[in-house]
Amino acid sequence: MSPELSRRSLLRGLVAGGGLVFAARLGTDRLWAQSAAEPTDWSPDIFVTIHPSGQITIVTHRSEMGTGVRSTLPMVLADELDADWSRVTLEQATGNPTYGDQNTDGSRSIVQFYQAMRRIGATARFQLERAAAEIWGVEQDQVRVSEHGVVGPGGKRLEYAELVEKARTYDKPRKSKLVYKTPEEWRYVGRETKTYDLDSLVTGRGIFGADVRVPGMLYAVIARPPVVGAAVKSVDDSVTRKIAGVVDVHTVAALSFPVVFQPLGGVAVLATSTWAAMQGRDALKIEWDLEPAGKNAQYDSAAYAEALHSSVSSPGKKVVDEGDIEATLAGAVRTFTADYYLPHLSHAPMEPPVALAIASENACEVWTCTQNPQAARDQVASALGLEPDQVTCHVTLLGGGFGRKSKPDYCAEAALLSRHTGKPVRVQWTREDDIRHDYYHSVCATHLEAAVDEANVMVGWLGRSACPTIMSTFQANQDRPTMEMSGGQGFHPPFAISNRRIEACEAPAHVRIGWLRSVANVFHAFSVCSFADEIAQGTGQDPVEFLTRSVNNPEHRLVKVAQLCAEQAGWGRQLPKGQAQGFAMHASFGSYVAVIATVELSKTGEISLPEVHIAIDCGLAVNPDRIRAQMEGSVVFGTSILRWGSITAKDGAIVEGNFDTYPVARMGHQPARTVVHIQPSDQKPGGVGEPGVPPVAPAIANAIARITGRRIRRLPLTGQDLSWS
Amino acid sequence: MQEILVNGKRLSVEGVDPQTPVLWVLRDHLGLVGTKFGCGKMQCGACTIHVDGVATRCCMLPLAAVEGKTLTTIEGLAEKGDHPLQQAWRAHDVPQCGYCQSGQIMSAAALLNQNRKPNDRQIDAAMAGNICRCGTYQRIQAAIKTAAESMGGAK
């Protein structure tokens, strides 16, 4: 392999059959399609190339982990360009700041790039129309695009293919000259268009992280330290090295704090097959040095839960302080108080982390399932002592992400091992690796107090939250929630209450803390939505009426979406004994979601879900079918969190390891019927991937409380008594 | 072992440790990467293939155990990728990330081979071994019914 590895040289190698052979050629055709820079092509922007054949290549720069965004953003561009989707080829961008932000998390792909894709499409369209107008000798306003061509006076038509040569000679038009399509003219936005990858995903041809293969590659698995920060004291690899197929055993340096995206360290076994590497790892005898892990080695979830409850029992650092909460609580007609506790969660995407790297002295090429290819590039560069532009990060399809794959520690592992061996190396994480060495969703305890006046109106609200902060992953001495307390993280109730205080309480981190689908909204929305329902119940009010009225703005989008959900779900209808409806509403990531769950409990407490309605106002519904799919998925994801989601530590090590000890929802656990309602809207698009998750668990828990008469104040449900009589 | 029968072809597995799980034989040795690794403990179903027509998790199934048997993977389910289930999967836009879908389709195909008209409970039972973290279950269920109907079963 040439020391000067460039993407183009490798891909030339692929085409010539000289350097690379991919296992699944059929799948690679599409995922790795290249807009080979023919001089006759026209690229009005880095995101789009129109070929003289009329075929259009659109660069898709966000990662596909199931939301459909790899298709949806290009659809927006194709829409404005009036391109025929069947003549569009997608090219997945490598990690490069030239494309703008590529970190596919925070439910912001459409939020950030919808208008940019429209503008790029409109720019290309302007130039194509100009070319046609000049050819016909008419004014530009007499021509218009129509399905991959331009039509002019008298029904004349020129295909895009015929206009490329002329259009490519123009300078880009000024933004003020661009005319955007009206919604009536849209072809794909707001319509039902199949995603680009649908065919490859139903035939097994989609290329995921572990599906990229190169000749001579080694397969690696790593025995990582059981406690974050621990180092290898000694390793006996004598048995490992005797296993057929094992090529090398190599110690990866321990990390230093803060952990950021560094590899965890440990002992890597490199082999000629995944199985040999796994066998080799099983045979290692490693002694760990826990000293550098400090207090992490004592992390014990049972004791830590007590510490968190204690932390929220006294005042923390004030984040919001409006009015006079102390006097309001002291003088209230009635007060409510409750503590909630939600444990750590692991992301557990179906595809565990995996990366393939080819590193040389002064370059590195990586193929991986990453949500954040620019961070992957930077982390690999930093691990190898290279500049970011010496690293190329190719993005495969992701078998789920949920936030895990924004953290590229596994990419750096592959790069280091490739540098060490001089060979291409794939690092494969097993399920146990994934669950025991995650960037965990935070454990959290909250304490809530509310004051209610004689008219049953909430007049005071005190909220305290203690959760190890995501910031602890990036900086030293981050011992209480910070970003988790911001307005977008669910702990500021959406109600008009003039006396309110929000406090951040101490909670040091002892594992790597990361963000998981909807982040702090998971535990904060559970606390707020459960507590508000408890107040409604305690004051004898209908929860939908009480909560929406408490917002004190009938036009609020959260109120509107709650009403939509209530109407559609038949809120308040008579149900048989053992069944109840539960309600929750929550705004996050620029969208508004309401959930009404019908829950059935057997007398012994076995739960089933006859029906769940979920309504979303995400502004303009750019890709309605994928929005419905995300809402359906959110109900299942929320059900997993509610029923089983729990990661625990003992002596600093994570106890759970696979789906037997960290169960997630299976088909039989989903609602018998999930119904999605999308609020029609022409507002700016909001997020979709995450905002469906937060209200699901509290809606179900609120229904359970109606049946059993006992509030659910900690998760998961497993092991809790849900019986009733 | 010299060879195994996969998707109607005899493929060489010479030199492969007979204790190697079939999943890794398919993926690492034969380059058939449509079958996925999800858990390695027969917990998630991402690795589901057919062994003599029966849906089987192959992540713990030793190579030695499939000698003389007929294996089918997602790549071999239908030559043109147009099995009624695959058609139904398209019609219902089932996949989100898609990673588990090979296994889901293989489990569903084995079910329909035995029961042309499965009801909800039978579908749930047959699919209980296949996890989808994206939560596409409702559409999988609907797609199985559509496929059953097109195969002349349920209506």
pLDDT at A16 > cutoff 80: no
Alpha helical stretches, state H, A255-324: 274-282, 301-311
pLDDT at A3 > cutoff 80: no
- Is the minimum CB–CB distance between B33 and chain A shorter than 8 Å? yes
The arithmetic mean of pLDDT across residues A193-208, rounded, is: 96
The arithmetic mean of pLDDT across residues A324-349, rounded, is: 98
Burial of A305 (0-12, 13-18, 19+ CB in 10 A): middle
Integer Cα distance of B22 and A602 in angstroms: 42
Distances (CA, A) of A508 to A208, A308, A653, B19, B86: 36, 10, 16, 45, 49
Q: List the one residue out of A459, A582, A592, A467 whose CA is nearest residue A524.
A: A467
Integer Cα distance of A428 and A221 in angstroms: 6
Q: List the one residue out of A277, A213, A228 whose CA is nearest residue A249.
A: A277
- Is the previous residue joined to A258 through a cis bond, with omega within 30 degrees of 0? yes
Which of A23, A66, A428 is the closest to B33 by Cβ?
A: A23
Q: List the one residue out of A672, A666, A664 whose CA is nearest residue A647.
A: A664
End-to-end CA distance of chain B: 46
Q: Do you know the residue count of chain B?
A: 155
Residues of chain A in contact with residue B130, where contact means CB-CB under 8 angstroms, are: 666-667
Which chain A residue lies closest to B36 (C-alpha atoms)?
A351
Give SS3 for A288: strand
Integer Cα distance of A695 and A21 in angstroms: 47
Q: Return the structure tokens found at A51.
A: 């070929």
- Is the previous residue joined to A3 through a cis bond, with omega within 30 degrees of 0? no
Q: Say whether B98 and A197 touch across the interface (CB within 8 A).
A: yes
Burial of B84 (0-12, 13-18, 19+ CB in 10 A): buried
Q: Say whether B135 and A634 touch across the interface (CB within 8 A).
A: yes
Which amino acid does the sequence have at B68? G
Burial of A706 (0-12, 13-18, 19+ CB in 10 A): middle
Q: Say whether A206 and B98 touch across the interface (CB within 8 A).
A: yes
- Is the previous residue joined to A554 through a cis bond, with omega within 30 degrees of 0? no
What ranges make up the beta strands (E) of A62-162? 88-92, 144-145, 149-151, 157-159
Do residues A272 and A219 make contact, with C-beta atoms less than 8 angstroms apart? yes
Integer Cα distance of A698 and A536 in angstroms: 14
Integer Cα distance of A639 and A393 in angstroms: 35
Q: How high is the pLDDT of residue A117?
A: 97
Q: Say whether A198 and B40 touch across the interface (CB within 8 A).
A: no
- Is the minimum CB–CB distance between B9 and chain A shorter than 8 Å? no
Integer Cα distance of A271 and B20 in angstroms: 14
The verdict on ipTM greater than 0.90 is yes
- Give the position of tokens 């409510």: A336
Integer Cα distance of B38 and B42 in angstroms: 9
Separation in Å, CA of A288 to nearest CA in chain B: 25
The arithmetic mean of pLDDT across residues A549-558, rounded, is: 98
Interface of A with B in 24-43 (CB under 8 A): 24
**How many interface pairs between A and B have CB atoms less than 8 angstroms apart?**
187
pLDDT at A30 > cutoff 80: no
- Is the minimum CB–CB distance between B82 and chain A shorter than 8 Å? no
Q: How high is the pLDDT of residue A37?
A: 53
Separation in Å, CA of B147 to nearest CA in chain A: 14
The DSSP secondary-structure symbol of A714 reads B
Q: List the one residue out of A523, A490, A700 whose CA is nearest residue A591.
A: A490
Q: Return the structure tokens found at A81.
A: 């360009």
Percentage above 90 pLDDT, chain A:
94
Q: Return the structure tokens found at B137.
A: 């279950």
What is the sign, positive or negative, of the torsion defined by CA atoms of A617, A619, A621, A626? Answer: negative
Integer Cα distance of A244 and A403 in angstroms: 37
Do residues A418 and A358 make contact, with C-beta atoms less than 8 angstroms apart? yes
Percentage above 70 pLDDT, chain A:
95
Residue B153 — pLDDT band, cuts 50, 70, 90? Answer: low
- Give the position of tokens 């061996």: A421
Read off the pTM: 0.95
What ranges make up the beta strands (E) of A602-693? 607-617, 649-650, 653-654, 674-678
Helix A69-81 to helix A109-136 angle, to the nearest 10 degrees? 30
Interface of B with A in 11-30 (CB under 8 A): 17, 20-21, 24, 27-29
Buried b (16+ CB within 10 A) or exposed e, A272-293: bbbbbbbbbbebbebebebebb
Which of A203, A211, A672 is the closest to B33 by Cβ?
A: A211
Which residues partner with A615 through β-bridges? A594, A677
Do residues A364 and A394 make contact, with C-beta atoms less than 8 angstroms apart? no
Interface of A with B in 329-388 (CB under 8 A): 348-352
Q: Say whether B75 and A273 touch across the interface (CB within 8 A).
A: no
Residue A38 — pLDDT band, cuts 50, 70, 90? Answer: low
What is the C-alpha radius of gyration for chain B, rounded to an integer number of angstroms? 15
Which chain B residue lies closest to A659 (C-alpha atoms)?
B43
Q: How high is the pLDDT of residue A29?
A: 35
Q: How high is the pLDDT of residue B152?
A: 86
Distances (CA, A) of A145 to A79, A180, A183, A478, B61: 11, 12, 15, 55, 57
Q: Say whether B131 and A352 touch across the interface (CB within 8 A).
A: no
Which of A64, A428, A635 is the closest to B135 by Cβ?
A: A635
Q: How high is the pLDDT of residue A530?
A: 98
Residues of chain A in contact with residue B74, where contact means CB-CB under 8 angstroms, are: 203-204
Segment (H or E) for A701: helix A696-708
The arithmetic mean of pLDDT across residues A487-495, rounded, is: 97
Q: Which residue has the higher pLDDT, A2 or A121?
A: A121
Separation in Å, CA of A379 to nearest CA in chain B: 25
- Is the minimum CB–CB distance between A431 and chain B shorter than 8 Å? yes
Integer Cα distance of A56 and A580 in angstroms: 53
Integer Cα distance of A404 and A400 in angstroms: 9
Give CA A104 to chain center in angstroms: 7
Residues of chain B in contact with residue A197, where contact means CB-CB under 8 angstroms, are: 95, 98
From the DSSP assignment, how many helices (H) and strands (E) are in chain A? Answer: 17, 27
Residues of chain A in contact with residue B63, where contact means CB-CB under 8 angstroms, are: none
Separation in Å, CA of A352 to nearest CA in chain B: 7
- Is the minimum CB–CB distance between A438 and chain B shorter than 8 Å? no
Residues of chain A in contact with residue B39, where contact means CB-CB under 8 angstroms, are: 431, 658-659
Answer left, alpha or beta for residue A613, where phi above 0 means left and psi between -120 and 50 means alpha.
beta
Do residues A56 and A89 make contact, with C-beta atoms less than 8 angstroms apart? yes
Interface of B with A in 37-56 (CB under 8 A): 37-41, 43-44, 46
Integer Cα distance of A20 and A33 in angstroms: 15
Do residues B45 and B107 make contact, with C-beta atoms less than 8 angstroms apart? yes
The arithmetic mean of pLDDT across residues B54-70, rounded, is: 98
Q: Which residue has the higher pLDDT, A30 or A76?
A: A76
Separation in Å, CA of B133 to nearest CA in chain A: 6
Residue B1 — pLDDT band, cuts 50, 70, 90? Answer: confident
Residue to substitute from B6, B23, B37, interface A, most A β-carbons within 10 A: B37
End-to-end CA distance of chain A: 72
pLDDT at A440 > cutoff 80: yes
Which chain A residue lies closest to B127 (C-alpha atoms)?
A667
Integer Cα distance of A98 and A113 in angstroms: 14
Residue partners of A43: CB distance under 8 A and separation at least 6: A35, A49, A50
Q: Say whether B138 and A670 touch across the interface (CB within 8 A).
A: yes
Q: Say whether B36 and A202 touch across the interface (CB within 8 A).
A: no
Do residues B47 and B37 make contact, with C-beta atoms less than 8 angstroms apart? yes
Give SS3 for A129: helix
Distances (CA, A) of A686 to A243, A568, B134: 53, 22, 20
Interface of B with A in 89-148 (CB under 8 A): 89-90, 93-102, 105, 120, 123-125, 127-128, 130-141
Q: How high is the pLDDT of residue A53?
A: 94
Segment (H or E) for A465: strand A458-466
Q: List the one residue out of A470, A465, A472, A471 whose CA is nearest residue A444.
A: A465
Q: Return the structure tokens found at A510.
A: 């002892």
Which of A207, A213, A273 is the closest to B24 by Cβ?
A: A273
Give SS3 for A558: helix
- Give the position of tokens 């895009």: A160
Give SS3 for A447: strand
pLDDT at B100 > cutoff 60: yes
pLDDT in tens, A45-66: 999 999 999 999 999 999 999 9
- Is the minimum CB–CB distance between A632 and chain B shorter than 8 Å? yes
Q: Say whether B74 and A68 touch across the interface (CB within 8 A).
A: no
Residues of chain A in contact with residue B44, where contact means CB-CB under 8 angstroms, are: 350, 431, 659
Residues of chain A in contact with residue B24, where contact means CB-CB under 8 angstroms, are: 273-275
- Is the minimum CB–CB distance between B4 and chain A shorter than 8 Å? no
Residues of chain A in contact with residue B31, where contact means CB-CB under 8 angstroms, are: 23-24, 213
Q: How high is the pLDDT of residue A326?
A: 97
Do residues A133 and A143 make contact, with C-beta atoms less than 8 angstroms apart? yes
